[in-house]
Amino acid sequence: MNLYQKLAIWIALRKPAPEEIQTRFSDSADENFYTLHIVIPSRNIRLLCKEKSKSHYKGVLWEVGENGTEGSIPKTDLEDLGFTLNIVHYYKGSIFSYDSPKEFVRQTIVRGPETHYAKNVREQALFNNTQIVRSDRIKVLEHVLNKTYQQTNYTTDALSLSSELHSIRWHAHPDKDILPRHYELVLDSLEASKDLIKVGHVYNISPKAMATLSEYARDEEKHNDSEVSANKTRSLTKAIIILGLVNLSFQLVKWAYELGAAAGIPFLTY
């Protein structure tokens, strides 16, 4: 066993994770635990290590074809058979998984999880101070269609949709109660128009959605063409008005000059 493996095991066993780990974003402010799995590939053995003695690593042991039971692995077996480590660090709502003892030790030394958490707190504060722009029917329908292209059996609901469109940060936003209600209404509206199909508590795409989005795209194109035409008309009108004003100015100057010459008024002749 090399130095990094020894250090990784020592660090992980200082704070073994409890049986139930709360990983929800808003309920994990005090969370700081580790799970340590010792794996012997040649024997298909995995130990969720909780503690160690002078001669054994102890915890919950899984062997081929068996459920996990209380057990242990002699330290000599690790040296003789070879092993790998998997360490998971649960830190204030975030999960960091390591298959490399060296990387785990390095991240512990440079306080990687703490840095990640501090960055999250800053970004959450900024997010909370911004107004969430809720997506309308068409944007939601486009999102569901694109997700279905990526995942054939894709389904969603109001909570999942909120996270997909606004990230998990919406859970701590001041509008966290309003957002899922909005998307629940949008999903129900799309289901009523037969663009989505509701199965139980989740929604998936219907064939009609393609026609709806195509029609929307045509309407948007017509609207854009109308805007372009209107802009051209406005530009032409402005040009005509400017030319008219220039011509009027020229006529006024000409009229003043002629009037001054006829009346013998010097300042109107220059």
Every domain of the chain and the residues it spans: 3-128, 137-206, 209-268
**Which two tokens mark 180?**
């899922």
φ, ψ at 58 (rounded to 5°):
-120, 150
**Which two tokens mark 122?**
């800053």
Beta bridge partners of 72: 58
- pLDDT per position as a tens digit, 184-209: 999 999 999 999 999 999 999 998 98
Q: What is the pLDDT of residue 65?
A: 67
- Rounded distance between C-alpha atoms, residue 53 and residue 109, angstroms: 25
Q: What is the pLDDT of residue 25?
A: 44
Angle at 95 between CA 94 and CA 96, to 5 degrees: 125
- Rounded distance between C-alpha atoms, residue 79 and residue 62, angstroms: 19
Check if CATH label 1.10.10 holds for domain 137-206. Answer: yes
Contact (CB, 8 A) for 12 and 91:
no
Q: What is the pLDDT of residue 108?
A: 94
Q: Which residues of the chain have pLDDT under 50?
A: 22-26, 269-270
**How distant is the alpha carbon of residue 5 from its chain centre?**
35
Contact (CB, 8 A) for 33 and 15:
yes
Q: What is the pLDDT of residue 131?
A: 73
Contact (CB, 8 A) for 81 and 40:
yes
φ, ψ at 176 (rounded to 5°):
-65, -25
Q: What is the pLDDT of residue 102?
A: 94
Residue closest to 183 by CA, chosen among 206, 204, 162: 162
Q: What is the pLDDT of residue 236?
A: 77
Q: What is the pLDDT of residue 267?
A: 55
Q: What is the pLDDT of residue 239?
A: 79
Q: What is the pLDDT of residue 198?
A: 92
φ, ψ at 157 (rounded to 5°):
-145, -175
- pLDDT per position as a tens digit, 94-120: 889 999 999 999 999 999 999 988 888
- Rounded distance between C-alpha atoms, residue 24 and residue 119, angstroms: 17
Contact (CB, 8 A) for 17 and 34:
yes
